[in-house]
Each structure stands twice: as C-alpha cells, then as structure tokens.
A and B are shown apart, each in its own frame.
Chain A
Amino acid sequence: MRRRAQWLLWGASLAVYAFLYVPLAVVVIFSFNDSLLNAEWVGFTLSWYRKLLADGEMLAAAGNSLAIALLSSALATVLGAMAGIAMQRWRLPWLPLLVLTPVAMPEILLGVSLLLFFRQVLDLTLGFFSILVAHVTFSIGFVAVIVRARLAGMDEGLLEAARDLGATPWMTFRRVTFPLILPALVAGFLMSFTLSIDDFVITFFVAGVGVTTLPLQIYSMIKVAVTPEVNAVSTLLMALTLTMVLAATRLAPDILRRGR
C-alpha cells in the first residue's frame, strides 16, 4: 500500500517535471539538428550557431538586450536598495505599497501605461532610453523586497552600535549596512538582470521602431517560421538566464546564513 503510494508520487512528479522541461529540451536539441525543419533528427551540427553569429540584426538585438539588462539592473539595484532601506527604517505603511505595486501589476497594463506616459505626457522618442526606464521600473520592487528581507533579519542594534562607537551616518552605511546587505544587492542585481533580458510584453510597448531587444527579435522571426536559428538563440538565452538564476539562488542561502 505504502509502496504504491510512493510510486504514484514519483510518477506524478515525473509527469509534472516532464511537462515543464521537455519543451525546453526539444528547443535545445533541435538547435543542433542539421535540418531546416523542426520535424525529425537528421544529424548534429553547429551551423545554426555559426549562422547566428553572422546575423547582424540578431547581434545588434543581443547587444541592446545586454546593455539594457546591465544598465537597468545596476540602476534598479541602487534605487531598490534605497527603497528597501527606507521601508525597513521608517515602517511607513504606504511605502511598501508604492514600491511593490509595479511588481504585482499585470505586465500588459504596465506596458500600456508606460507607453502612454512616454508618448503623451513626456513626448519622448521611444527607443533605448524608454526601454531602459521601463525595465528599471519593474525591477526596483524585486530588489527592494530582497534588501528589506535582509535588513529585517539583521540586529538593528548594529547600526546604533556603529553610531555609538563614533561612526557618522555615512560611515555606518559604508562599514556596516553596505557589507551586510551586499549579498542581497548581488541577488537583487541578478534577479533584475534575468527579468530584463527576457522581458517581452513591456518592452514590446515601449521599444518603438529603431531599437529591438533579443526577445522582440525572436518574436519577429517566429512570425515567419520557427527556424533552427530561433532554437539556437533561444538555447543561448536559456543558458544565460539559467546561469543567472543559479547564481542568484546560490547567494540567497547566504542571505539567510550571515548575520546570525
């Protein structure tokens, strides 16, 4: 009886994970398939990757994506850290609401509202800058939550102790607060990077005509057909995202462990 229940449990888990990961595996496998059709396995090749590296549009989109991801995560980390510290220090009931609403907001709504704001209110030409600002907007909340969680687990007496022992507020931040929230800052940065590099919906609204990012480029390619080249670029994007997620989760336990 117990054995059967265990087999069922294993079976169910296996089915769920298969459902999650088989489609991804198919993309990865067909990116190495020596055939134009995603139908049957013909033979191993790296030609799609070679083709990808020669594709100027694709490289430009990838460059934009990387630049936007790096810049927006850096900005979001600084602003989010400030928001997180403020939330923890002043405990204002409306501040978390203000900071976290963009996290909970449906992306499509955020996209439309940002588009309206950039065009109708600011009369801004859409492009690199508008994408950057949009990505910062939805990343701040995530960083703020991570930083705040880190601060909440910290003895508040530490900051008073630093002041008491002769540190100015700035020195207290540099020597005590900053080193203690550093793991949270790194995790927040990686999280923002992951969110930025694969964002489609919001970017779609605020990108304008001149500048594309990788997800937009992939989308425009599959409007024609899902070619192995799309598989190849998807595989690369997947690898990058996975690396970031792994790095972020490796740092997360550290957040819990330190400061004990």
Chain B
Amino acid sequence: MPLLEIKGVTRRFGDLVAVDGVSLAIEAGEFFTLLGPSGCGKTTLLRMIAGFDEPDQGALFLDGRPLAGIPPEKRPVHTVFQSYALFPHMTVAGNIAFPLEMAGKPRGEIARRVAETLALVHLEEKGGAYPHELSGGQKQRVALARGLVNRPRLLLLDEPLGALDAKLREEMQVELINLQRDVGVTFVFVTHAQQEALALSHRIAVMNRGRVEQLDTPERLYTAPASRFVADFIGKINLVDVEVTGNSHGHAGLRSPALGDLAAEPGNGVVPGERGVLALRPELVRVAARGETVELRNRFPGTVRELLYLGDVTLYKVQLEAGPVIEALLANAAPGRAKLFKAGDAVTVAWRHDAGVFLRG
C-alpha cells in the first residue's frame, strides 16, 4: 500500500481549476517532487495534503485512511514553508521543541530530541539564538529540524531553497539528500526549479495547468519526455517540426519540412501522417568543422551564429542552411583551447539516429 494516495483530486477557485483530476501514489521513504511553473497547481495540492485546503472532488488517503475532514494539527504531516515561518518570539530550541510539546511528549524526551535534531542539522551552537539572529541557510536548517523532529509520516517542503543564493542552494541540496536518507522520512518537495528536482528526487511529477504531465524518475524525464511541455520545461532542448513517414516493414521514419528525411526512431504506436516534433538534447548534437568527415546520416551544413561560453561547456547556436537553428552543447575539453568554434565558422551539425524523441502535437 502506498503511503499517500491521491485519487482524482480536483480543486477549483471560482472559474480557475487549480488542480484538475490528479491521481498519484507516493511510496514510504521516497523523495518525491512536484515540479511545475508557478500556477500549475503544485502548491494547492501541497496545501490539500497538509490539510489547509480540501478537494472539491476526489480524495486523499494516508496509510489507506481517508484524510478528508482531518484538520492540519491531526495529520502526521509537517511542512517546511517557503518563508520558513519560524516563530520569532521563540529561540531555535523553542521552535524545534514546539511540535514535541504539542504532541504532549515528556520534558526529558523533548530536551533529548531537540539536542539530537540540532546536531542533525549542524546547529548545536545555535539552540539559544533567536531566528532574526540567524543567516538564511541557518533559518532553513531550523525549519527543517522543526519539521522533522517529531518524525512525521510525510514532510512537505514548499520551495524551501527558493530564498537562498546559488552557492548555498547547492550545499543545501546535498544536505537535503543526506538528511532524507538518514532519517528515512518521506519527502514531498515542491519546486519550479527543474535542476533542483532532477538533483534531489527519486521520482518527479511534472505538473502543468493543474494536471500531471508525466510522472517518472529524473533520468527518464530527461531522456524520454512524454510531452512537448515536459521536454521544454526540463533542461534545454531543440524542437524540430516533423511528420511521421512510411511504415512499410515496421520501421517508421520522420521527415522534416526544412531538413528532409531524418534517420530516427519515432517509437512504437506512431502512425504515418502524424505531426509533432523531434526533441533533441543539445548535448547529443555534434558539431564538426566543415572539412571534417562526419559518418552520421543526420548531418546538415550551417554557420555558428552565437555562442555562450559557460566555463566547462559552451552552447553553440548554429544556423542551418536549410533554415532551423540548432543548439549544441560541447565540452571545452580539447587541450590547449577554450572554445572549439567561434561565431561565423562554417560547421556541420549532426546527430545519431537514436538521439531524439518524437513527441506528438
């Protein structure tokens, strides 16, 4: 039995359908992420899990028991809020002790567990400090400690890293992974940052306009996006308009109006005549100087129009002679040179027949 089951949940605010028939199951011990742009319904869904909102249709089950009508304080679910929501009139230790006190734990146990949890988030020294005396990263840790101290069945995290600067965010990501593994509490993480979701999660549900577009592991989401939205939302991707051609002996092909016939594997279940896009990750695109021989069948002449030097890699935007612009990500690993090409260079762009994914629509 899954730990949390969401069955056909819909939530409307006036005419707006914030959550539209969402069903998903979260297993115990998972680091589960709800990923989507702002307004996609992920926060509304989170609030329904926490008990601050109730679905108009559908139901939520925790350990098989329906959650309907159970107020937030009675649910074994705690939340780490985006604003941290630390109680300003309590010390760090007081904040962390709060859930234990509300649960009526004996004083000795409270003291012991507060000390343990402070150690868990590396804040042993800060127990007596007030929230306004802490840095952003420290507040974040206190909020985490407060959410975890009473070992909820489920810890909800609402964009908890949003307020931190890039460097600190990366550090906290590693800490979050370790923390979740160490305490074994199931995490439901909400974010709009796709990199964060890919780095942290066991599974990700990509949400758009109140619906789950795709629910998969990070690797599958990245390499085999199920829709144009998912492909576009997660990472950088080239989208080439194509049509499915011939299916004479079990092999379908793709034809691009601009590039002609492509060597591709459109996958099973496609029908000739279907239109869509070939989604191609920039790191799967090769770029060679015009003179070099390229063995691949998908190869097109073009000119480097722009490039974005990112240190370890460079993103090249190549204008193909046939029309489309293709982005390619190349590692700057060649000895003795930082970049392989410069703007204006005549190049050949190529990719393997199995590099892209065909997406309908």
A-contact 0/1 string along B153-184, CB 8 Å cutoff: 00000000000000000000000000000000
- B73–A158 touching, CB < 8 Å: no
B-contact 0/1 string along A129-141, CB 8 Å cutoff: 0000000000000
Q: How far is the CB of B354 from chain A (nearest CB, A)?
A: 48
Q: Which of B79, B83, B85, B98 contacts A175 (CB 8 A)?
A: B98
Instruction: Give chain A interface residues in 217-260, CB to chain B under 8 Å.
Output: 258-260
- B88–A260 touching, CB < 8 Å: yes
- A161–B81 touching, CB < 8 Å: yes
Q: Which single residue of chain B is at the shortest CB-CB distance from A179?
A: B89
In the complex, A153 Cα to B58 Cα: how many Å?
37
In the complex, A155 Cα to B71 Cα: how many Å?
21
Instruction: Give chain B interface residues in 64-100, CB to chain A under 8 Å.
Output: 71-73, 77-79, 81, 83, 85, 87-89, 98-99
Q: Which single residue of chain B is at the shortest CB-CB distance from A161?
A: B85
Across-interface contacts of B99 in A (CB, < 8 A): 165-166
In the complex, A180 Cα to B85 Cα: how many Å?
13
Which one of A158, A161, A162 has the highest number of Cβ atoms from chain B below 10 Å of its Cβ? A161
A101 within 8 A of B: no
Q: Which single residue of chain A is at the shortest CB-CB distance from B131?
A: A260
Q: How many residues of chain A get a CB closer than 8 Å to chain B's CBs?
A: 20
Q: Which single residue of chain A is at the shortest CB-CB distance from B47?
A: A160
CB-CB under 8 A for A180 and B89, given A157-B81, A167-B102: yes
Q: Which single residue of chain A is at the shortest CB-CB distance from B102?
A: A166
Q: How far is the CB of A173 from chain B (nearest CB, A)?
A: 13
Q: Which single residue of chain B is at the shortest CB-CB distance from A168?
A: B73
A40 within 8 A of B: no
In the complex, A158 Cα to B71 Cα: how many Å?
16
Q: Which single residue of chain A is at the shortest CB-CB distance from B50?
A: A164
Q: Which of A158, A164, A176 contacts B78 (CB 8 A)?
A: A164
**SS of A interface (majority):** helix
- B83–A166 touching, CB < 8 Å: no
A171 within 8 A of B: yes
Q: Which of A163, A165, A179, A259 contacts B71 (CB 8 A)?
A: A163
Q: How far is the CB of B260 from chain A (nearest CB, A)?
A: 57
Q: How far is the CB of B76 from chain A (nearest CB, A)?
A: 9
In the complex, A166 Cα to B87 Cα: how many Å?
14
Q: Which of A155, A166, A175, A176 contacts B73 (CB 8 A)?
A: A166
Q: Which single residue of chain B is at the shortest CB-CB distance from A163?
A: B72
CB-CB under 8 A for A157 and B98, given A164-B72, A260-B88: no
Q: Which of A171, A175, A258 contacts B88 (CB 8 A)?
A: A258
Across-interface contacts of B132 in A (CB, < 8 A): 260
B146 within 8 A of A: yes
Instruction: Give chain A interface residues in 153-202, CB to chain B under 8 Å.
Output: 155, 157-158, 160-168, 171, 175-176, 179-180
B245 within 8 A of A: no
B308 within 8 A of A: no
Which one of B52, B87, B132, B147 has the highest number of Cβ atoms from chain A below 10 Å of its Cβ? B87
B103 within 8 A of A: yes
Across-interface contacts of A180 in B (CB, < 8 A): 88-89
CB-CB under 8 A for A166 and B79, given A158-B87, A258-B89: no
Across-interface contacts of B191 in A (CB, < 8 A): none
Q: Which of A158, A171, A179 contacts B102 (CB 8 A)?
A: A171
Across-interface contacts of B77 in A (CB, < 8 A): 164
Across-interface contacts of B88 in A (CB, < 8 A): 158, 180, 258-260
Q: How far is the CB of A93 from chain B (nearest CB, A)?
A: 19
- B79–A161 touching, CB < 8 Å: yes
Q: Which of A160, A176, A179 contacts B52 (CB 8 A)?
A: A160
Q: How far is the CB of B152 from chain A (nearest CB, A)?
A: 9
B33 within 8 A of A: no
Q: Which of A160, A162, A166, A176 contacts B103 (CB 8 A)?
A: A166
In the complex, A168 Cα to B81 Cα: how many Å?
19
B150 within 8 A of A: yes
In the complex, A91 Cα to B271 Cα: how many Å?
57
Q: Which of A160, A258, A259, A260 contacts B81 (CB 8 A)?
A: A160
- B79–A164 touching, CB < 8 Å: yes
- B98–A165 touching, CB < 8 Å: yes
Q: How far is the CB of A67 from chain B (nearest CB, A)?
A: 33
In the complex, A151 Cα to B216 Cα: how many Å?
43
Q: Which single residue of chain B is at the shortest CB-CB distance from A159?
A: B85
Q: Which single residue of chain A is at the shortest CB-CB distance from B81?
A: A157
CB-CB under 8 A for A165 and B102, given A160-B52, A258-B88: yes
Q: How far is the CB of B101 from chain A (nearest CB, A)?
A: 8
Q: Which single residue of chain B is at the shortest CB-CB distance from A157?
A: B85
Across-interface contacts of B73 in A (CB, < 8 A): 163-168
Across-interface contacts of B81 in A (CB, < 8 A): 157, 160-161
- B85–A158 touching, CB < 8 Å: yes
Across-interface contacts of B98 in A (CB, < 8 A): 162, 165, 167, 175
Query: Can you list 28 A-B pairs with a CB-CB distance of less than 8 A?
Result: A157-B83, A158-B87, A160-B79, A161-B79, A161-B81, A161-B87, A162-B98, A163-B51, A163-B72, A163-B73, A164-B52, A164-B72, A164-B77, A164-B78, A165-B73, A165-B98, A165-B102, A165-B146, A166-B73, A166-B103, A166-B150, A167-B73, A175-B98, A258-B89, A259-B88, A259-B89, A260-B88, A260-B132
Known: A161-B87, A165-B98, A175-B98. 10 other contacts (CB 8 A): A155-B83, A158-B85, A160-B72, A160-B85, A163-B51, A164-B51, A164-B52, A167-B73, A258-B88, A260-B132
* Top-8 shortest CB links A-B: A166-B102, A161-B85, A157-B85, A165-B99, A163-B72, A164-B79, A179-B89, A167-B102
Q: Residues on A close to B: CB < 8 A?
A: 155, 157-158, 160-168, 171, 175-176, 179-180, 258-260
